[in-house]
Structure 1
């Protein structure tokens, strides 16, 4: 088993519980100490444990299995059948446990933040295969991305330098993806930039983009409302974090300019 695998527990002809594999361990002493069986050396944690498991008939129908509905020992479903469920239901977790609305825990978010923070040590890649993440982990990863980008920019808009807060202290600034998630863009801090709500809208709608040298460029649309206000930003440098490791990378900036028709 691997982290984020979905589990169904079977007994007496039906599934009675389920969950998600959290962490896995291998210890040669575990089997002997716990079960008096030195061959059993693998341990795993279970997250999101639930007794609200689907019936075996429902699972067999989703998987496209024919024949007698019996599980013998540990059984791993073929990957192509898993991908069929993901395409139809978006995630295994939502298909099996109906947990699309479950919010990720603080621990899950922090784990994703740690992984994303370490990712800046490697070369950036344009896209991310989100199908590898169950629904709750995807939301945890999105939240981790947002928090890391806000922290990196000290809750300051990279375009205008504004650092607004609500009366209860919530920052206005948002974490914008440069190469968007809708194109399978990565939750990589280097694919992010902190923007106030107005400049986030301007960036996502194609009014603004940035050069590889982190200067602002403005769409050439002088007949549209808002052009003259935004045109004043042309050529200005972004307000970037001191840590250059988290600055927007050309691999993402180039694709944003391409999507919105800016000259290369």
Structure 2
């Protein structure tokens, strides 16, 4: 009795697939790196800046290569994360129903939820700022406090956009063999071409979003470093960083970053799984 193509594919999958614990390890490693690496980078920027603080003498002759960014940050700080978010909205709109979204639909916070979280965090930050002004308190750095909110949102958007990119990449390069084919592969040639274009647009918009968010995060780390190094005592800097972590960053991380990182890890695990099966099919052929 002859074997069907599906039976052959199933046998190849069982023979060459990565063990489940391996793909789970990939997913966990990617998710943990996506969450913790930027946090460490932010902490290093704060600590290094505070360590370089030289008091009023240093503040009188500051070296500020990021002054151009600081000018933008002062004027439009809370709105800066909207740039990568806008590109992620484009990616989501381009995706539509033409690509599989099992991972993203399950755990990746949609742009609307992310926007609501960023708006809530911005309101909290504004409230704290107004209370501080009313109390004439200068015991913390509002610059670092606002920077914590912007850095957290940029971090979240970088992870979320990377998830979208990794989720559609296997279908574009033809390694999406886990869990069946994509909807765009069915139907006539026009539908397939439209689906392919939609995925390419989705991937491009997601790549721009991730790059923009990563650049914003790095710029914010640099700006906070120079703020800590020249304009605030270590006590003021640490107080602002701690308040920012508790009141701002923890909210964004819990609502957006961590769920997005889990989705990124799952998509990365599937991507590695798909590449392995593709290589196995190629070597067997």
Note whether the superposition's TM-score is higher than 0.5.
no
TM-score by length of 2: 0.26
Higher helix proportion (structure 1 or 2): 2
- The normalised TM-score by structure 1 is 0.27
With a CA cutoff of 8 Å and minimum separation of 6, indicate the structure with the bigger relative contact order.
2
